[in-house]
Structure 1
Amino acid sequence: MSQSRELQLRITQMEEIRSILNAMKNLALIEIHKLTHYESAQSLSVTNIEHAAQDFLAFHPQPIVKDQTNVIAILIGAERGFCGDFNEKLISFLSSGTYSGIIAIGTRLCNRLSDHPLVIAAINGANTAEEVSTILNQLIDAITAIPSESTDSYQLNYCAPSFKLTAIYHDHRSSQISQRQIVPAFSPQVQKTSYVGNAPILNLKPTQFFSELSYHHLYAVLHEIFYLSLLAENQQRLQHLEGAVKHLDDATVNLQRKSQIYRQEEITEEIEVILLNSENL
């Protein structure tokens, strides 16, 4: 097979790879567009819950949970590849804090932390926004299974946990890794906020209402964090794929130039052979 023919086959293969990368890039764009709307709505929902908590705590103060040194980190990584050093940055961030346990989310992140002594749970991550709720149910089950000092279940002692839960994730808004305490649900500053107005009318006992509100806040915040992380993951994947497509385009142009040169040389050789044969006749 001639060199020009071999180069043409390589060009065809690279064009096929480029079409696959373009399809992946379009999927990332669709997911980014969808997650942008989801994250905006979820952020508003979290804000409304926190405002309701401020109103409630102003008239029904709850015991302030003592500061806990037992901190469990929820590390939210990538489920798929083509997103650069997304997981490596999260692992590096762990060295900046002291944790008593780690809940890793994302298959690729879990694989990198498979030998880590602090990992207490490994959960598959979400590929799309529609999978977030399913993953969160598994995460809540993992949190519930964490033993507490006073009870056998974390959920039964929700308002007075014996540990802190901190989420570590990529935040697309700052393009950096963020750390956010999600349990206890409301900081002492929120509980001390003064409020002027009428007391909220409750259909539940204050302690029961606060417990339910805290649980809903946890679920809403986790949704928001997962949307932020998945949005950052897809943005990084889009950037990575665009770089790969550009590299393929540059390589294809170079191969096409080489193919033209080789083809010209082959045509010249064929003409020389024809002229030599005609002289022999």
Structure 2
Amino acid sequence: MSRRAEVERRLRRLDEIADIMTAMKTLALIETRKYNRFMAHQQHLIQSIEAASADFLAFHPVFRGGCGQGEGGSEVLILIGSERGFCGDFNETIVAALAALPTVQPRLVVVGRRLATKLQDHPDVQIWLDGPNVAEEVRPVLDELMKALHRLQTGSAPWKRLSVLAHDSEGGIASHILLPITPTQEPIFAYPPRMNLDPAVFFVELTEHYLSAKLPGLFYASLMAENRRRLEHMENALRRMDTKIEDLRRKSNALRQEEIVEEIEIILLSAESLLTDPS
């Protein structure tokens, strides 16, 4: 294979890779815009539930420590990473934030295959789950996560505190305390709410609604940050790819010019030999 043929072959391969990366970049951009809509809806729902819990706990302070969890329970920390790659140091920053926690580590539930690979030798990992790739996969992942939390809760050491460590929508690392519910809002009403349910039953159902609203919002924020990292990663890679392709095209053109010059030289030499042939 000639040098120019080899360069042309490499150019075709790079063009194919660039097309794939452009498609991945487009998908990441579409997903990012989708999460903006989902998160706005989830945030409104969470604020409504937190307002209701603030009113309830203001007049039923006995439930402030949680419901149905023993005093001797431990903490479970959910780590949300990525299922796919091409997102820079997305998972590494979660691992670094985990390492910066106090010496006494909580039990870990890891969501995301890429993150689980990096923590496979961590002694506190109890369960790892496949993570979502797109928004439509969040709900099935949450179902598996709730089953995993239930198994830990009904085991020999039930947990008292549930937290999440994940990327927020801006790409930073944030820690969220899910349980016990600790609303940051002040109660709106000066009089206790009129209830048709027993307070304990009401608080259990309120907690379930809170988790059902809060956890999807955290997953959407993590996926948004992941896709922004992937978008940035793809843009940088495409810039480097374009530079490489341009270099190869210039090299291919130079080699083609050399071939043309060689062909012209051969033609001239052939013509000269014909002119000087005595026969």
**TM-score, normalized by length of structure 1?**
0.89
CA distance in 1, matches of 2:191, 2:178: 28
CA deviation digits over 1:6-34, x for unaligned, max 9? 21121111111111111111111111111
Corresponding residue of 2:30? 30
Match of 2:55 in 1: 55
Please list, as runs of the form range in 1=range in 2, the aligned pairs for 1:57-206 lying within 5 A after superposition: 57-65=57-65, 70-97=74-101, 98-147=104-153, 162-173=159-170, 175-186=171-182, 193=186, 195-206=188-199
Task: Count how many residue pairs are aligned between Structure 1 and Structure 2.
Answer: 268
Cα distance in 1 between the residues matched to 2:206 and 2:157: 18
Distance 1:194 1:28, change over 3 A: closer
SS of structure 2 residue aligned to 1:163: strand
Counterpart Cα distance in 1 of 2:238 and 2:200: 57
The Cα shift of 1:70 comes to 2.8
Structure 1 equivalent of residue 255 of structure 2: 262
Is the Cα contact below 8 Å between 1:70 and 1:99 reproduced in 2? no
**2 CA distance for matches of 1:133 and 1:185?**
22
User: Do the aligned residues in 2 keep the contact of 1:58 with 1:195 (CA within 8 Å)?
Assistant: no
Q: Measure how far apart 1:199 and its partner are.
A: 3.3
Shift of 1:223: 0.8
Deviation at 1:5, TM superposition (A): 2.1
- What is the aligned partner in structure 2 of residue 158 from structure 1? none
The AA in structure 2 aligned to 1:77 is G
Q: Displacement of 1:69 after TM fit?
A: 8.2
The gaps in structure 1 that reach 5 residues or longer are 155-161
Q: 2 CA distance for matches of 1:165 and 1:60?
A: 21
Q: Give the TM-score normalised by the residue count of structure 2.
A: 0.90
Residue in structure 2 matched with residue 271 of structure 1 by the alignment: 264
Give, in angstroms, the shift of residue 147 of structure 1. 3.9
Q: Does the alignment pair 1:207 with 2:200?
A: yes
Structure 1, residues 173-211: CA drift from partner, whole Å, max 9, x if none? 3x3111111111225x66xx5554443232211111011
Is the CA contact (8 Å cut-off) linking 1:90 and 1:168 kept in structure 2?
yes
- Which residue pairs with 1:159 in the alignment? none
Bigger drift between 163-172 and 59-68 goes to 59-68
Give yes or no for contact 2:55–2:189 (8 Å, CA) kept in 1: no
Asked if structure 2 preserves the Cα contact closer than 8 Å seen for 1:3 and 1:262, the reply is yes
Runs (5+) with no aligned partner, structure 2? 275-279
Question: Deviations along 1:29-74, whole A, 9 cap, x unmatched?
Answer: 1111111100111011101100011122233333432987832210
